[in-house]
Amino acid sequence: MSRRRDNSEGPAMRPSGAGWPQLVSLAGLAVVLFFSIQNWNETRKLQTTLGERFGAVDSRLTQLATKVDQAVRQAPPPQRGPDPNKVYQVRTDSAPSEGPKTAPIVIAEFSDFQ
Amino acid sequence: MRIAWKHFPLDFHAKAPLAHLASAAANEQGKFWPFHDKVFGAQAKMDKDAYLQYARDLGLDVKRFEDALNTGRGKAAIDADVAEAKGLGVTGTPAFFVNGKFLSGAKPFSEFATAINAELTRLKIPIPAAAQQAAAGGAPTAGG
């Protein structure tokens, strides 16, 4: 307890020195607080902008996907050669052929040697 | 029934153009099909010497045959067939048209029989029993 008393003698020194460190640390705290708040604000702003951007990108992607789907649906099925439901005119008069000229069935064969 | 040959040498078959020219040269002398069979019978040999040998084997006028080959006499007819094929939308071989109806690729015999029988029905020509059986998937029988 006697030590405490010793310390309690300190206040006599206060006006000259003990106030400054406290002030400085208070100021430091204020600065830190200020920057944290600012930082937090910036982060929030950034998050909002990013959120908006992602939203925009997302909706654009959805639009694109619908367009692609529509295009795929509207596109005609890939044509693989002549239409098997059609009747084509194939010139066979001068082609090398086997069988009577007046045959009711004529098969034209497009082919190659190899 | 008549089978007509239409030239369609595919672009990526390097040896096809000469083979088609040679077959056209044989056709000049009325020997297209025997020549065709020779070429298909020996796919490995597809050069000018082989074609000249086939021409000799078939009793053709070899000088005329060689002249047709050298001057490319059949080229116009071949090109016309290719243009016609492309106009019809044909992209691969073999491609068959049964009375103008398209049958693509190497189809089983029964598909030809079906297509032919459909045409016979349309033309009100009686279908032989063997042909009906063939269309149903049965093997072609002798005399059918």
pLDDT tens, residue by residue, A9-47:
445 455 555 688 889 999 999 999 999 999 999 999 999
Q: For residue B140, what pLDDT band results from cuts at 50, 70 and 90? A: low
Residues of A with Cβ-Cβ distance to B37 under 8 angstroms: none
For residue B57, the model assigns a pLDDT of 94
Give yes or no for residue B104 having a pLDDT over 90.
no
DSSP state of B95: E
End-to-end CA separation in angstroms for chain B: 13
Summarize the confidence of residues A41-68 as an average pLDDT: 93
Closest by Cβ to A88, choosing from B3, B23, B102? B102
Query: A-side interface with B, Cβ within 8 Å?
Result: 79-84, 86-92, 94-101, 103-114
Helix (H) or strand (E) holding A97: strand A97-98
CA distance B35 to B74: 15
CB distance A81–B39 less than 8 Å? no
Cα angle: B76, vertex B82, B84; to 5 degrees: 100
The structure tokens listed for B18 are: 């000469």
Residue B34 near residue B26 (C-beta atoms within 8 A): yes
Q: Are strands B2-7 and A106-111 parallel, antiparallel or unpaired?
A: parallel
Q: What is the pLDDT of residues B70-86, one digit of tens each?
A: 999 999 999 999 999 99
Give yes or no for residue A5 having a pLDDT over 60.
no
User: Which residue, among B71, B69, B44, B43, has the nearest Cα to B55 in the 3D structure?
Assistant: B69
CB distance B7–A92 less than 8 Å? no
Q: Which of residues 42-61 of B touch A (CB under 8 A)?
A: 43, 46
The structure tokens listed for B131 are: 């042909």
Q: For residue A87, what pLDDT band results from cuts at 50, 70 and 90? A: very high
Closest by Cβ to B84, choosing from A91, A100, A113? A91
Phi-psi region of A40 (alpha: psi -120 to 50; beta: other; left: phi over 0): alpha
Q: Which residue of B has its CA nearest to A111?
A: B94
End-to-end CA separation in angstroms for chain A: 115
For residue B127, the model assigns a pLDDT of 85
Q: Which residue of A has its CA nearest to B84?
A: A90
Mutate to test the interface with A, among B1, B2, B125 (most CBs of A within 10 A): B2
CA distance B75 to B30: 17
Report the largest interatomic distance among the alpha carbons of chain B, rounded to a whole angstrom: 49
Helices (H), chain B: 16-28, 32-41, 48-57, 62-71, 75-88, 109-122, 129-135
CB distance B100–A94 less than 8 Å? no
User: Which residue, among B45, B12, B65, B73, has the nearest Cα to A112 in the 3D structure?
Assistant: B12
Share of chain B above pLDDT 90, in %: 58
